[in-house]
Chains A and B, each alone.
Chain A
Amino acid sequence: MSGSGTPAGAPARAGEAGVEGYEIVVGLEVHCELATATKLFCGCTNAFGAVSNTHVCPVCLGLPGSLPVLNRRAVELAIRIGRALHCEVRPSTFHRKNYFYPDMPKDYQISQYDEPINVDGYLELPGGLRVGIERAHIEEDTGKTTHVGGGGRIHDADYSLVDYNRAGVPLVEIVSRPDVRGAEQARAYVSELRAVLVASGASDGRMEEGSLRVDANVSVRPLGSDVLGTRCEVKNLNSLRSLGRAIEHEAARQVALVESGGRVVQETRHWNEAEGRTSSMRSKEEANDYRYFSEPDLVPLVPDADLVERATAGMPLMPAARRKRVAALVGDALGGEAGASDQVATVVDLGLDDLVVAAVGLGADPSLALRRAANEAAQRPEEARRLDATAFADLLGLEVTGKLSSTQAKTVLAELLEHGGEPEEIARRLGYEALSSDELAGVVDDVIAAHPAEWERFLGGESKVAQLLTGQVMKATKGRANGRTVAEALDARRG
């Protein structure tokens, strides 16, 4: 286990196929492309999807004589990531990682090695589990190779095309400690990390465009053991779905291997989404000795307090802190309520927590505010993020005081989201003005008179008949009556 002092988390969920009696241990390496305007060491545009080899210059093509100059914005975003992950931001250096590959213009990658900028942090997942972050360091991306013909792999292709637009794009590689247990937690980790990276402004979070690329180090061990098993690194995980499936498959493969008396060999494995299995990538690449040494073309990167302050200025609260803020608002009253933490996670995910917090600040009932935000407003998150908090709070007030039934309140909310306006005004327009008590009393009496048999059963204590009677009142008032008030009126007549 890591020495990070984080809770180990629950064992992998029972019944995960083929791994009974084992614990799945996962460490994740996430490469995040930074959302800078330009590349890490040159002025070329950092953008996805341009015509091949149009965003290139002598520096990112590694032409003889060119030199790297570190992008200040990339450093600032790396520091934001470090801070968002509770890391120590420290003096750091760059190294060269040497290996030959056609999509690496210099045949070495400039990366941070033994002195990364961010170390020793953690990421808190919605369930409260803290996953240790070993490091989050800066490095440059490679170009992209397309192997044409053969099996689409480098060795059997007819020829290969290289696009260097991505070469030199700034990356931060975030390396977790092996604190993740199983596929579900791994998905939760990446999903939460993605939210943090987006919130910090460091990334657009688009996994499908390769903005986030995930490798998983998977090992298994008998339940109760605290010794780490031999791990395999699984690559080519392009979605949360592949991540989960790949971990489940890889863990099952390792367990089957161990159960049959075999041993897991440490290696890199490729996830094949179509076949639903991992396969060994053992190749010449595996045998590389990267011959790291200090990058002589760059000077040490020493972030002083000023730089850190400037970098993190205006950084919003991270999801975990936002969840805590909402949870604190709704308080203990909600502690035992089923689904409350899911609701908190939903409003934070959808960015509706500010709305909830503001409405509560204006006097709205916290629990109702959370429920309406997480259930109804969440159906239309775009509009809900633009919703005026005062209007939302007013609406919740009308519902709490019984001026609107919950059904009515939901209809008014839908109207508010679509067109905006004043809740009372909308309620009036929809004819939701509360009935006068005289009018209601008349209708209730009429309904009792019209349903004598049911009334007798109600008086006899058959409470489910109340629903039928209330329904009749609602029908007669075309839904203007408040269900709770009707129930009270019926009870009052029972004596």
Chain B
Amino acid sequence: MRVQQPAATGLDLERVDGRAKVLGLAPYAYEHPAENPTYLYPVQSTIARGRITAIDTAAAETMDGVVAVLTHLNAPRLADAADKELAVLQSDEVGFRGQFVAAVVADSPEAAREAAARVRVQYHQEPHHAALRADHEDLYKPEQINAGLETDTQAGDPDAALASAAVVVDRTYTTPAEHNNPMEPHTTVAQWEGDRLLVFDSTQAVHNARKTLAPLFDVEVEQIRVVAPHVGGGFGSKGLPHAHVVLTALAAKVTGGRPVKYALTRQQMFFLAGYRTPTIQRLQLGASPDGRISVLTHDVVEQTSAIKEFAEQTAGISRMMYSADHRRTTHRLASLDVPVPSWMRAPGECPGSFGLEVAMDELAEACGIDPIELRVRNEPAIDPETGKPFASRHLLACLREGARRFGWERRNAQPGTVLVDGWRTGIGVAASTYPARRQPANTARIRFTADGFYEVQIGAVDLGTGAWTALTQIAAEALECGPEQVRLQIGDTDLPVATVAGGSSGTASWGSAIIGAAQMFRKEHGGFPSAGDTSEGDGERNPAGKNYALHSFGAQFAEVQVHADTGEIRVSRMLGVYSAGRIINPRTARSQFLGGMTMGIGMALHEQSVMDERFGMIVNHDFADYHVPSNADIRQLEAFWLEEVDEHAGPLGARGIGEIGIVGAAAAVANAAYNATGIRVRDLPLTADKFLT
């Protein structure tokens, strides 16, 4: 496959949407003009499981400005109620606390909210289970896990190998529930014009959104238009439509054609917009005294909502990361009366790397080997799971480059020995990886305009990842013109079909389609097109996927300070080196890596959604109590990448950079904290009390 020579790509082009954003003029879902809008405010269940026995809406209905009060008794029927997360107001069943049980539509947000407060709901409460436990009685094995992977895998005889291994690490690690918390709350504005639905949505995938909605409302996909030119972050939570999208579109059926606007509050997002499942991971590593791993098992227990299955592929990382002749990975689910978990930045690899990479640190210590050297000794020649060669595996190069830049040689192998001004200080490392995916079913269209611009159209979405900029560059390069000659149009189902901005697949997938369209355009119209000349092109499934294992790799280094008296913990330095194929735009890429690492620091230090199992209630459901990292938490933070072009990653040579920055980050921090204190914390987050002995 021919790899495009870097021209416009690789350029340090400023974000094309930067100007609109710094002025506050870029429109997000709530901000598109809507004529004579109505506003929705929901009523959420106050029990975790049971049935609604009565709803009194009289007081709400008679309030000034109220257009409609919807409940399961009067809401329009959906054509398909199989997906219980999306089947809002279709039955009297309550599956988790915080679920929608009614909604008010009114002329003003104030009236909607006030009326919602007057809706009285009575329940028949049934016993519920809301806490994840390793010994949960009805653990079950899902058919498959996220990304269509096998639930369990096994090679060799792990149990026998463990029994005979010279050195064994057998530990259990836990990660808590975490919430994506993009800064823009999930928002939907929906309007029916006859049997056509117009939706302004904060979504990572306009075409997927309408594909999900169409059967629910019994319309063809062409009857739905979803628009999302700017999205204020998502990190996975806006990848799949959640209940509020359906609720808003449903409510728009009873307003006589008036648009309905609904933005979730930050508090509501904790129940209704997806989150990362908590995980309980048992890792067993068996090795020879010199650290060569013969057996690796990774057994995961995690939760799903009883109303809809989501199975995080937590142990997936252990299938390809290190060589071990004997391997086992398993995933078991506890089906609980809790909100529906979903995608959050690097599902699978992110929590899985915490277990695996801390276990590696423990093994290094047990063998008395440097943690980097341990990884060198266990570097596989081929993908252990599939037997395919890696298209590009530069983990060791990342580790070495990172060690050099970070000053790894200054690490004191003996933990708990460095004390500076009352702070115990240490450094740690962890490896990172993320699969390089490319989605088929992407089409791009290129049209030459009368005023001499190339209009490049694709239904891609920029949720902050820099797609506006990267796709402009890719188009310019493929068309061999300047970026200023490209007029990119994205974020609209009226544009050619595109796949989700997720799984680090967006740029590579959409970019391939744009390159295809550009090649077609030049073939059909040559170098001197006339106004109106148009061509389309598709991105195809990456054929290299058949013969190669396609992954990105990285190395995460952290320096941590733990206060000797209070246990307060700070990440004083963090550095990542990544191998992610070609970098389309260094400026946006750097931000993506740093942003991922920062979320990893948040995961390490603060992020935890606390479930009060008595009520099925997430108690810290706002920013006052769910802490995402703030400016002061992030001190020295640096990201570097290897200069490379992955010839197997498609015509772009790029592999995607959205997730890899978070993978391994929390493990690096935990390993550094151990190096600082000699206290091994295996349960995230690393709060101060865990360092007081």
Bound together? no
A interface residues with partner B (beta carbon < 8 Å): none
